[in-house]
Structures are given as C-alpha cells and as structure tokens.
Structure 1
Amino acid sequence: MRMRFKPYAHDELMAADFHVHEPLIWGGKWHAQYARPEQPFVLELGCGKGGFISQLACAHPENNYLGIDITDKVLILAKRKIEAAYQAAGRPIDNVKIMSTDIERIKGVITAEDTVSRIYINFCNPWSKNGSSHKHRLTYPRQLINYREFLKDGGEIYFKTDDDDLFRDSLEYFPASGYDIEWMTFDLHENEPEWNIRTEHEGMFTEMGIKIKALIARKDPDPASVTWIEPKILKRQAREAAEAEAAAKTAQEGEDNE
C-alpha cells in the first residue's frame, strides 16, 4: 500500500538533531559527525519505518549507525521510533543518524574514507525481473560493486527478504560482485540466530506463512573477485564480435574473387 504524503514530515525531520539535512556534503567525513567517531560505522540501506535500526542502534552503543531511505514520509516514522526506543532506554541519541537519499546514487555520498564496517539490507523492493526493473534491486551487482568502494575489506552485508526470486538471484549476484557468502538460509526462523531482530515486515510475512530468507556475505578484498559484466556490455561485445566476423568474411570473399 502506498503511503500518503505527510506535510509535517519535512519540518519535523529538520528539527531533529540526528537527521542529516545535507547528506551530499559529508562524503569522507561521516565518522566525524558522531559523538564517538572512532567507533565502527554501520549502514542500513532502506531503513523504512525504522523498526530495525531503532532497536539495533539503541542496543549497541559501541557502533555508529546511519539509516537511509528515499522519502521523508517513511523517514519521519523512523525518526519517531528511534526517539521512542532511546527514551525508553534512558539514553541520549548519540550513535544513530537518518537521512533521505536515493541509494542507487549513493556513490560519492559515502566514500572509501568513510570505512563502513557492515551493511544491513532488510526486505528491500524485490523489483520484477520483467524488463529492466530488476536493475533497481539493492542487491543487483551494479549496487553491490558500488558498496565495495566504502565497505572495508572483510566487511559484511546482512541481507533478509521474503521474496524467493530476489533471494535466489542474490545468491548469484553476491559472488559475481566480489563477496563470499559465509552463511545463508531459506528459513531464518527455523533455527533463528541470536543476532536477528524481527522487523514489522518480518512479522507480517511470517504470519502469512512466508519463510524469511537470509544471508551474510563478506567482501573479498581482491578486485579480481569481481567477475560481473553488465548484460548490455555482453550484448555489445557479442554484436561487435559478429560485426568483426562478418567483415572478415566479406574481406575473405573479396580476396577469393580476385
């Protein structure tokens, strides 16, 4: 269901100290935006209503967190959940921030100097495989390769989804993009790990009888581990090879006729 526009969202977010008002200016300087800049820097890509990051960040003050989503009408709900979680814990909001950014254009917003330790991707839009919409997936190789630029060597990506097609495709995306899949499951709740935090989506899908799929992938520091080639490049290479073969054949026929 599409969320309604919230006219109050912008002003309320602008009044929050932990909301990043100008994300485009902090590339290479993210650690310095936190009270304890020496701590590991962790991202949640597509934080949605904030059910996950509000619990995770509040429970782990030893890390600094940044939750990213594309629209204020969702981020305002994350802001309120973070406030509620920290108030209940009696803690200041000093290790988590949120910002509105198109994750497909994250390159440059976060840079290699920002040294991200871990990335969480929870229940992102699976995007249909019809046409080219699947290229917008947050686990599509083009995106995973972008994340390599700021994820530290050996850094991890934790990924959860309810969608079978997205998960099976992602099992191919990660290795082709230079990541080793260290752990995976097609039923997260069968032997649920202690680190799992159930989100609103997770609870909803579980009640519907849909199994939650999950994996942990680790960045291989070797650039040669990236083997992905965009399909459009493969098509161009095939076309160029066919054209070269046709030209060579025409040239040979010309020589034979002399």
Structure 2
Amino acid sequence: MRLRGRKGIRESLEQQSDLVILEPGQYKGKWASLFGNDKPIHVEFGMGKGQFISQMSYRNQDVNFIGVDMYDELIRRASEKGRNAWAADGVTTPPNLKLALMNIENVEDVFESGEIERIYLNFSDPWPKNRHARRRLTHPRFLEKYSAILNERGQIHFKTDSVTLFEFSLNAFSDFGLQMTNISLDLHRDGLNEEFVMTEYETKFVNQGINIHRCEVIVGQEALSEYKKERLEKYSK
C-alpha cells in the first residue's frame, strides 16, 4: 500500500503527543494509566483513515479507544477525524482516544496480557492468494496474539466485504475453538443499520450494493459464561 503524505508529516505527528503515540511499546501494561482511568480499552487494528474509531470514541465515552495503523499518513488523517468528531462539543483532544503507529505483527510488544477488552477488525486486507494466508489478520497466528492480550471479557468484532476472507475467518475462529455469535452475511439488508458505526470502506461498499459480512467472536471466559447464560435463558422460555 502506497500513500502520498504531506511534507513534514512526521513533525506534525510529533507535535500531537496528546493524541498520537509514535512509540506505543513504552505503554505496554500502562495504557490505563495513560488514559487516567480504568475504563475498558477497545482497539481497532488497521483503522485506515480513522472514521470508525473516531466516531466510536465520541459515541461511547465510557470506553477508551486505541486506533492502530502502520502508516504515518493514515495516523495523520485519523488525528484530524478524531479531533473533528469532538469539535462540536468544544473539545480539542478526545479524552478517550489514542492513535498508535505500529505494525500489528508486534501486538505482544505493545499490549500486556489481558490489557484489552475488545478488538475490531474492519475491512482488513483479504490477501486473496493462498500463499499469503498467513498475512490475514484472522489467521490463527494472529488469533493467538489476540487471545493473549484480551481479558476475561474479551471479544473480536469482525467486518469485511470479502466473501472468501469471511469464509476463511469463520473456519479459523472455529478451528481455534472460539464461540461466534451475531453472524450476518448482509449487515445492511434492511437498510443502513444505525446500530453500527460505519467505516469509510463500508460506506463506499454499501452505496455500491456490496454485502457487508460481520460476526462477533467471544474469547474471554467471563464473556463466554455470560453468553451461555443468556442463551440458556433465551431458549428455556
């Protein structure tokens, strides 16, 4: 992926230490302290231009959010969207949002075991060729990394427009022994589902009539126990 960024982009990011984290490894095990509270921490891996994570931070102020990407230019664009999402309230720095420049390969160097409650994977690169399967963010080697950093209430929320990636991912989740729920092959079949914040790609694909596939994956034991209890109650009525 090649991005044409503005001149002086790194300098711009360095001046946004209130929002942008250029060396996230220093906060491993300390993210709660950085936010200054013990609210749940949700992370989007591969946030792109940041529309999703910015809107999520504004809509859910009882949660701390971290947007992750490996490109300076995308961090810059996300910083603009993050600030704009809160601008109407006169807030210049979103209090519950951080943007981290990092390669997802290195998640275990940035997050401590059990430090994260939820991971969002939105429209990740499908890497359609079989020889590139290990690069898919739902490959078992990544699922192992996610499972290590997710806490007892941990979940993965996954969205894609790619049928092949969705099929691959469902099989990967199953093979990894993870419980899936709220599986949808066409998230917006009845019109835009206002319950979910949309990404830039999602808006584009929906306008083109492309189906959006989504599922939630339960990782943490507390979350799994709660899920089983809810299902037992539902089907015993």
TM range (shorter): 0.7 to 0.9
Aligned twin of 2:180: 181
Which residues of structure 1 form unaligned runs of 5+?
A: 223-258
CA contact (8 A) 1:178 1:220 kept: no
Q: Deviations over 1:206-253 (max 9, x none)?
A: 12221000001101549xxxxxxxxxxxxxxxxxxxxxxxxxxxxxxx
Matches within 5 A, 1:87-102: 87-91=87-91, 92-102=93-103
SS at match of 1:89: coil
CA offset at residue 18 of structure 1? 1.1
CA offset at residue 104 of structure 1? 1.6
CA offset at residue 198 of structure 1? 1.5
SS at match of 2:20: coil
CA offset at residue 75 of structure 1? 1.0
CA contact (8 A) 1:183 1:215 kept: yes
Quick one: structure 1 residues 63 and 12, their matched pair in 2 at CA, closer, same or farther if it must change by over 3 Å? same
CA distance in 2, matches of 1:217, 1:49: 24
Count of equivalent residues: 219
When the two chains are superposed, the root-mean-square deviation of aligned CA atoms in Å is 1.7
Aligned twin of 1:32: 33
CA distance in 1, matches of 2:172, 2:89: 39
CA distance in 1, matches of 2:184, 2:114: 33
Quick one: which amino acid aligns to residue 11 of structure 2?
A: D
Aligned twin of 1:249: none
Aligned twin of 1:240: none
Q: Which moved more, 1:157-166 or 1:14-23?
A: 14-23
CA offset at residue 83 of structure 1? 0.9
CA distance in 1, matches of 2:178, 2:50: 27
Aligned twin of 1:160: 159
CA offset at residue 61 of structure 1? 1.2
CA offset at residue 194 of structure 1? 4.5
CA distance in 1, matches of 2:57, 2:177: 28
CA distance in 2, matches of 1:11, 1:189: 41
Quick one: which amino acid aligns to residue 188 of structure 2?
A: H
Pair 1:126-2:144 in alignment: no
Quick one: which amino acid aligns to residue 74 of structure 2?
A: V
Quick one: which amino acid aligns to residue 151 of structure 2?
A: K
Which residues of structure 2 form unaligned runs of 5+?
A: 223-237
CA contact (8 A) 2:35 2:95 kept: yes
Identity of aligned residues (%): 34
CA distance in 2, matches of 1:105, 1:129: 23
Matches within 5 A, 1:210-249: 210-221=210-221
CA distance in 2, matches of 1:2, 1:108: 25
Q: Which moved more, 1:213-222 or 1:65-74?
A: 213-222
CA distance in 1, matches of 2:69, 2:44: 9
Q: Which segments of structure 1 move beyond 6 Å, counting only runs of 4 or more?
A: none
CA distance in 1, matches of 2:22, 2:75: 12
Aligned twin of 1:68: 68
Aligned twin of 1:149: 148
TM-score normalised over the length of structure 1: 0.80
CA distance in 2, matches of 1:207, 1:2: 25
CA distance in 2, matches of 1:7, 1:168: 41
Matches within 5 A, 1:74-113: 74-91=74-91, 92-113=93-114
CA offset at residue 79 of structure 1? 0.4
Quick one: which amino acid aligns to residue 62 of structure 1?
A: D
Q: Deviations over 1:151-202 (max 9, x none)?
A: 1123111110010100011001112224210111110002565531122101
SS at match of 2:77: helix
CA distance in 1, matches of 2:212, 2:221: 29
Aligned twin of 2:7: 7
CA distance in 2, matches of 1:156, 1:130: 27
SS at match of 1:121: strand
Quick one: which amino acid aligns to residue 118 of structure 1?
A: R
TM-score normalised over the length of structure 2: 0.87
